[in-house]
Amino acid sequence: MNPPPSSPAGQAAPPAPEAWYLSVDRCWCGGQSKGPSPCSEDYFVCERCGTHVARRRLRAERVADFYSMEGYWHSRQKEKAHPTLHERRAILERDGRVTRWVEAIGAHTSFNQGAVVVEVGCAEGTLLARLQSQGWIPCGVEPDPATAASVTQATGIEVRAGVFPGTAVPPCDLFVACDVLEHALDPLGFLQAAWNALRPEGLVFLQLPLMIPSEADFGGITPKVFDPWEHSFIFTRDSVATLLATAGFSVLANDEAWIRAHEFVVARKSSAPHRPHRFIANLPEMFSVRWRSFMEELNTFAAPLGLREFRTWSKIWEYPALWFAGLETVDWSRARLLDIGSELSALPWWLASRGARVTLVEASENYCQHWIFVRNKLGLQDRVDWHIVPDASLPVPSSCIDVVTSLSVIEHQADKTKAVSEVARVLKPGGLFALSFDLAEPELGMSYPAWNGRALTRGEFEQLLARHPHLELQPPLVWNDEDIAPFLSWHRQTAPHHTYVTGAAVLRRVPDGWPVLSRRLRHAYTRFQARLTR
């Protein structure tokens, strides 16, 4: 380990050379900056989830060096007026925080003989020792080998050396990380690994500094909390709940603290059914690398053309959901696409650049001048045309279109039955109808603003589309209801009127001679599958 550089008089020394760090412009969720953090110029606030993100991040290969026994647990702690490693035990017991930790854990779990607790970033092992005295089988993790060996020698507890999640841990019933998650370079990967380590119904217990609505910062200790050398992320209560839901946890408690900047979060490993396909927007897909990469490609295409970029609301799920549900398999060099409600969507233009012949449909001429600019810019004069129509009519011949796309349009269409019938009419047999749609279920606490049209219910979607005589939904419809509450919680944060969820589906045009009995069997099978997963 290289020694830290010396510091000017009166200033704290940086704990590591700048070369140990990377510049950062993205949050764990893929979001970018919506502006600097009011708490520190070294952080920005994520546009997508509200987390405060350090503009630098420790390189993964330097984590063990940074958190070394001498460099971190002695020199760094003394510099910050914190107790060194083995001084911590008496202080933590004396000030009551260990008792509070154990009480918070006990409020949500009952001990079973042979239960295993894993603590990542266990430091001197005080909490593990207390839990061991109550019958738990403990295992700790510390990144630095010397620190791990020293704690094992002092406590007799197994402490594994290495950086989690790269370091294996035993299957466990309780996963603990106190003052750790804000240091994690990839907090989503960290919690997903915790989920994998936990047994069914296992519990995760976190302590970390959380921004809360009633307080602008952390008072006098704000500079210690917003420490860009150590803390990659400072979460809000909402953003840590979003993170946990994305990783597959249900939050049980998110409103306790030992003292300010030492907030508790308790969550349980979710036991939702496996879903090979999800029709309702959900956080795990939306914040996955696959979904984010697709939106990054689409936004990169849109930016120089002045087309819409989507970064902060449900479209970041809708577009990739339709792409991966069927649009990616289309041979676009041979396809004719009709896009309904095109506005300044980048998708039809992106597909035209891949060889598709595209017809745009809008209700007014507001966007025509921009369409002319984009068409000329891309040299697609022979591939893109458009129609302006005041209602759901589609001014193209029957059975001439390979793919119809409609993103968040059907809720604005007054005659939804006609809108769907028109799509079925213009599609070729075997053609695809890819649509996203807003869903509002009043009995689940959802509402939809009257000025925005009328959202569907799940029952209306089933009647209007899933049971349509000329459209086949693939795969069969089974709603992923377990994703509604976490997504709705996030969606409400993006705008006050987002008190509804979003769905997406791809349907195939079936031949007119499709037997009525076959359709009935298909719908019966769908209902049977839905009952099995409830």
The per-residue b/e assignment along 148-173, b for 16 or more CB within 10 angstroms, e otherwise, is: bebbbeebebebbbbbbbeeebeebb
Report the mean per-residue pLDDT for the chain.
Answer: 92
CA 11/CA 364 separation, integer angstroms: 62
The tens digit of pLDDT for each residue in 104-133 reads 999 998 877 889 999 999 999 999 999 999
Query: 360 pLDDT exceeds 50?
Result: yes
The pLDDT of residue 521 is: 55
Same-domain check for residues 158 and 25: yes
* Length of the chain measured in residues: 534
Residue 517 lies in a domain: no
Copy the structure tokens of residue 377.
């810019």
The per-residue b/e assignment along 352-372, b for 16 or more CB within 10 angstroms, e otherwise, is: bbeebbbbbbbbeeebeeebe
The pLDDT of residue 522 is: 53
Same-domain check for residues 225 and 362: no
Calculate what percentage of the chain has a pLDDT beyond 70: 94
The tens digit of pLDDT for each residue in 272-282 reads 888 999 999 99
The pLDDT of residue 531 is: 52
Comparing 100-114, 179-193, 202-216, the range with the smallest average pLDDT is 100-114
Same-domain check for residues 308 and 210: no
Copy the structure tokens of residue 54.
């350090």
Q: Which of 269, 303, 323 is the last residue of a domain?
A: 269
Q: 520 pLDDT band (50/70/90 cuts)? A: low
Strands (E) across 216-369 are located at 233-236, 249-257, 263-269, 336-340, 357-362
Tally of domains in the chain: 2
Q: Could you write out the DSSP letters of every residue in 111-178?
A: --TT-EEEEET-TT-HHHHHHHHTT-EEEEEESSHHHHHHHHHHH---EEES-TTTS----EEEEEEE
What amino acid is encoded at 132 in this protein?
Answer: Q
Q: What is the CATH number of the domain that holds 450?
A: 3.40.50.150
What domain range is 378 assigned to? 283-459+472-511
Q: 440 pLDDT band (50/70/90 cuts)? A: very high
Same-domain check for residues 167 and 293: no
Same-domain check for residues 132 and 209: yes
Same-domain check for residues 394 and 434: yes
The tens digit of pLDDT for each residue in 392-434 reads 999 999 999 999 999 999 999 999 999 999 999 999 999 999 9
The pLDDT of residue 154 is: 95
Same-domain check for residues 352 and 496: yes
The tens digit of pLDDT for each residue in 372-390 reads 999 999 999 999 999 999 9
Q: 6 pLDDT band (50/70/90 cuts)? A: very low
The tens digit of pLDDT for each residue in 129-166 reads 999 999 999 999 999 999 999 999 999 999 999 999 99
3-state secondary structure of 438: strand
CA 467/CA 522 separation, integer angstroms: 9
Name which of 310, 320, 239 is nearest 286 in CA terms: 320
Query: 517 pLDDT exceeds 90?
Result: no
Distance in angstroms between the alpha carbons of the first and the last residue of the chain: 55
Q: Which of 269, 291, 322 is the last residue of a domain?
A: 269
Query: 103 pLDDT exceeds 90?
Result: yes
Query: 216 pLDDT exceeds 80?
Result: yes
